Amino acid sequence: EYERFMPWKSADGKSVISSDLDQLKTLVNAVFNKKIIIDLISNFIVFENEEGKYNKKLASYHQYFAVNKAVEKTIEASDIKGDGRSGVIWHTQGSGKSLTMVFYTGKLVLTLNNPTIVLLTDRNDLDDQLFGVFSRCSDILRQTPVQADSRERLKGLLSVASGGIIFTTIQKFFPDEKGAKYPQLSDRSNIIVIADEAHRSQYDFIDGYARHIRDALPNASFIGFTGTPLERDDKNTPEIFGNYIDIYDIERAIADGSTVGIYYESRLAKLKLNENEVPGI
């Protein structure tokens, strides 16, 4: 018995089938590939604890392929020859972006030999929300995530040699005095910074938080997640995080049943003004 079902529409993460007749064939060729099924069982199943009830969740095809591409890009970015920019994952809102981040973090912990993961949000409520998702899926992370509610706490958590999943807000990286340089918190290269909603204007190098984060963590690698596409004139986000790693746009999400469509109907509101009241306006 299941509460939610979603077809597996890709065998390689590149091409996506459109015909219902090909779904079973694609499922068999992809999921029952020895390498993929072992990977799915090992790294892409969570038992999310919601008020004492455990819900088993398996990654969807777009989550699976996006995570593996992101891990590969992060390995390249964090290498001594890398530039620290892993890239950006655009998965439309409602398609399971938070769980994608969980799967990515869980696999990264094993692949990079216990790095320190810093998850950045730009609001306390988002920080609490994302922290809640990670806390309910702590088994796959193999450690308990923590929140850094102050700069001193953040610095202390980053002082360890390795390990740790740290949640904090970007406001923690703003210096006490405007125009001042933010002090270095750690020079380790095994720190991965995950920014939620990475397209927002706070992440710019001129007067935004990106410059201060780089000052604080000069050798860290960065990856961004966003639920909306980057704007055409947005040069800051690619400069900080790199180019797109994976795209799961709203058209695919609607076709897969991951989210519902949004329709806009333009109307002209007709207003009638009492002519006797015009002189008094």
Q: Give the tens place of pLDDT for each residue, 233-254.
A: 666 778 888 899 999 998 889 8
Kindly tell me if the per-residue pLDDT of 127 is higher than 80.
Answer: yes
Q: Residue 103: its pLDDT value, please?
A: 98
Contact 96, 130 (CB under 8 A): no
Give all domains of the chain, ordered by start, each with its CATH number: 59-256 (3.40.50.300)
Q: Residue 205: its pLDDT value, please?
A: 56
Kindly tell me if the per-residue pLDDT of 152 is higher than 70.
Answer: yes
Look over the chain and give the mean of its residue pLDDT values, rounded to a whole number: 86
Kindly tell me if the per-residue pLDDT of 203 is higher than 60.
Answer: no
Q: What is the pTM of this model?
A: 0.87
- pLDDT more than 90, % of the chain: 43
- CA 119 to mean position of chain CA atoms: 9
Q: Which two tokens stand for residue 40?
A: 């799915």
Kindly tell me if the per-residue pLDDT of 207 is higher than 60.
Answer: no
Q: Is 271 helix (H, G, I), strand (E, B) or coil?
A: coil
Q: Give the tens place of pLDDT for each residue, 38-83.
A: 999 999 999 988 777 888 999 999 999 999 999 999 999 999 899 9
Neighbours of 258 (CB within 10 A): 20
Higher pLDDT, 117 or 52: 117
Contact 221, 84 (CB under 8 A): yes
Q: Residue 227: its pLDDT value, please?
A: 87
* Beta strands in 78-219, from DSSP E residues, in sequence order: 85-91, 116-121, 146-147, 165-169, 191-196
SS (H, E, C) 37-80: HHHHHHHCEEEEEECCEEEEEECCHHHHHHHHHHHHHHHHHHCC
Q: Residue 21: its pLDDT value, please?
A: 64
Q: DSSP assignment of 204-257, as one string? A: -TTTSHHHHHHHHSTT-EEEEEESSPPPTT--HHHHHH-SEEEEE-HHHHHHHT
State how far the Cα of 190 lies from the Cα of 228, in Å rounded to an integer: 29
